Amino acid sequence: LDIERCFDQINHRFLMSQISLPKQVKQALWRALKAGVKTEFPISKRGTPQGGPISPLLANIALHGLSDLGTGYRYADDCVFILKPNENSEKLRHKIDEFLAIRGLKVKEAKTKLVAATEGFDFLGWHFRVKGNGKFISTPSDKNYQRIKEKIKTTLKDSRFPLEARIKKVGSMVRGWRNYHKHCDMNDHNLWSVRHWSWKFIRQQGRFNRRQTDQQIDKAFPSVSWSVNKFVNVIGTKSPFDGDLAYWSQRNSNLYDSHTAKALKRQGHKCGECSLAFLPGDQVELHHIDGNHHNWKTKNLVALHRECHQGQGVHSSTKQQKDKS
């Protein structure tokens, strides 16, 4: 869902009615809203100041509550609603239109559409889709992917700057882009084609030999680790309060690093001190039995509740357990 000219059309009186500030501050804000930006437009009748640092905040105040009309997610004036099969999209759209009309806004029809979850949709540079097997997947959107490739090529071709400076700038761009998308599935969005193009472009400049060009490419395309945000759905109607300790301690172990996860599995997802199962929300700490935090051998590690780890006698009891074993 896209709002037509959101920042330009917000109703001033409605916006001021939503702000609770001292009278003097509200008067200053009102004058700022009415100040205008050019001599041919001396007075602004609606909207927030163009390019003003406070404009995003004012827009958020005006649009507060929009995502609550349904199962919605909003960032500034970009919003998406998730509908269940039995929900009526026309009723939701009617509520949205009424909500926006009070604020002097309306939906931009050209950029608003209803799509199936299997078709997917773009939101904030990501493409979200439910695959045929029912699994959810997110990837960088095609538009976002093409944009970063074009920016890389444009930056490298900009002869106003030294080649080394251009390569450094591309490196910052690529690192930022990959960090933004590091929780997406990046298998098909690894920038390989533009990396290959960049290698040939840098090599053609005649500044570097093949080995040096490889080194420059590594600077321009720094690697950033990524992992798909794999959330495993809770089975059926299970609840952390249903008493199924084995199930919940098993799920809980996925939140911890490899050493802790392995210790939890060895211990049957039970505390090595009190022998009680770990529940969702319990703080798990990894204890070094011999007190040497540089000794990461498997036999020297035990997973404990934070309370057990901080309690007195932990070191002695775990040492005794080790001696007995």
Q: Using one digit for the tens of pLDDT, what is the confidence trace for 253-279? A: 454 456 877 888 888 888 988 988 887
- Position 215 scores a pLDDT of 95
Phi, psi of 130 (to 5 degrees): -105, 120
Q: Do residues 72 and 80 make contact, with C-beta atoms less than 8 angstroms apart?
A: yes
CA distances, 128 to each of 84, 117, 125, 139, 185 (Å): 16, 8, 10, 7, 11
Domain boundaries, the chain: 3-112, 142-221, 245-317
- Position 143 scores a pLDDT of 95
- Position 244 scores a pLDDT of 64
Query: In this structure, how many other beta carbons lie within 10 angstroms of the beta carbon of residue 178?
Result: 22
pTM: 0.65
- Position 123 scores a pLDDT of 92
- Position 7 scores a pLDDT of 81
State which residues of the chain have pLDDT below 70. 36-45, 50, 229-233, 240, 243-258, 280-281, 312-325
- State the alpha helices, DSSP H only, in the chain: 6-9, 12-17, 23-34, 55-63, 89-102, 142-157, 163-180, 192-204, 210-220, 245-252, 258-266, 306-310, 314-324
Q: Using one digit for the tens of pLDDT, what is the confidence trace for 141-151? A: 999 999 999 99
